[in-house]
Structure 1
Amino acid sequence: MTEAPDDAKHNGPSEPAGRETPGKAPIRDLLVSAAFELFTEYGYDGTTIDDIVHRAGVGRRSFFRYFPTKEEVVFPDHERALAEMIGFLEEGAQDPDPVGRACAAARLVMRMYAEKAEFSVKRYALTRKVPALKTHETSVVRRYERALASYLRRRFATLQDGDLRACTIAASVVAAHNYGLRAWLSSGAGGDASIVVDQALDLVHRTWGDKAETMIMVARTDTPAWQIIQQLDTLREGGTGYRFA
């Protein structure tokens, strides 16, 4: 890969870094669009940052103002999505259903993909071909997982197995979300992304969430165990039962 761009890849003049032109797409969007045009034409490894800025018609400094590396231009919305997820989780500090909150947070990421379905499909195809992008994507996914685990760890702080539970549920949420999302992307973004993602996340919620009703029964300490069990069975079956005194 050469840093010296060839003329075939350059079809626009450079302009001072950071200058927005009225009526023109934002520089950030221009860079992303130019990058994917070039990736399609010349491949990811065959495209340099110089190629991208020339195609976008902006200065080189503009690229690094928005993207620290070439990999980042492939994942332009993840920083925003991660920030939204963290904010959503922080707002749910008192949510009585922390697992449900974590699943809902994952759906925010799914919506980011669904809002730009065509772009998401192109990125999915690209990451499957380029090992460096797959590695970068894995690091991005880990950041989402850490954010979920951090939230759940705080919610389960009083439990003896709180840390284990938080990490396990966070990993389950991410795995379920990714399973559904990849199924949608591999179909070419056909249909509603939320359907398959919701199915996967609902499984996690049913497995780890606490949806059962709370039942409180008071009994004397000398009440026979068989009688307590019998009464519990009656209550579960909808009987009126009685209160042990």
Structure 2
Amino acid sequence: MADVLEKPRKGEDVRPKGRIGRRLLITSPKGGVGKSTTSRNTAVAAAVESGLKVAILDLDPQRGCVKWFAMRPDDKVVAVDMYDGAIEKFEDAFAEMDEDYDLVVIDTPTSVEEHKGAMKRLILSCDAVLIPTGQHWDDTKSVTDWMRYVRSCGARASFLLNRCKPRTKSFKEARVALLKAGPLCPVEVPDREDIPTLASAGLTVVDVNGMKSSDEVIGVWLHLKNEMGF
């Protein structure tokens, strides 16, 4: 994986121009690790916990964030804005944003190998990269190779153990394997039903008082907040 994508040339600047404070990229070559879930949870946590003006940019052809946003009861929860686009033309999606945003959270497709040039440009355009992963061997092997490439671009990146079972042996083994490849978010998100249940109503655990996973989701955001210098 680390050698699949062309490395950026030294000094290359591909940051999209626009009225956007910071950009957070959620990416992983592995499917089923919760990229879209992490994108919308993080966006809402940033808006609720830090009072930021936040947008989500959905570049995944499955449009999981867009479908979630269509169900969101915007009269009862904190507002986040939604945009979508094609990964090969993500610069056009940024250009269409007609409001000022403190943060844009970017959801991406799984098949990064099919978007070599666009992924390189996208990584370089962002202030931080979060790589969600499960805790089993096939998950960690895929994402550790990807982390090496992302870091070779000079990006500030960290892993997120997501949908995990912290009391298991494989969880402990995953932490060690990931830390050998790069930084690990100090807060993991356990495998609980409240996150997918609320997602089916256009909500996150941060939108509803008393949800068990809200502390972990907010903790992930606080880690990213520090990484991006808010």
TM-score (norm 1): 0.24
Higher helix share: 1
Higher strand share: 2
TM-score (norm 2): 0.25
Higher relative contact order (CA 8 A, sep 6+): 2
Q: Which has the larger radius of gyration?
A: 1
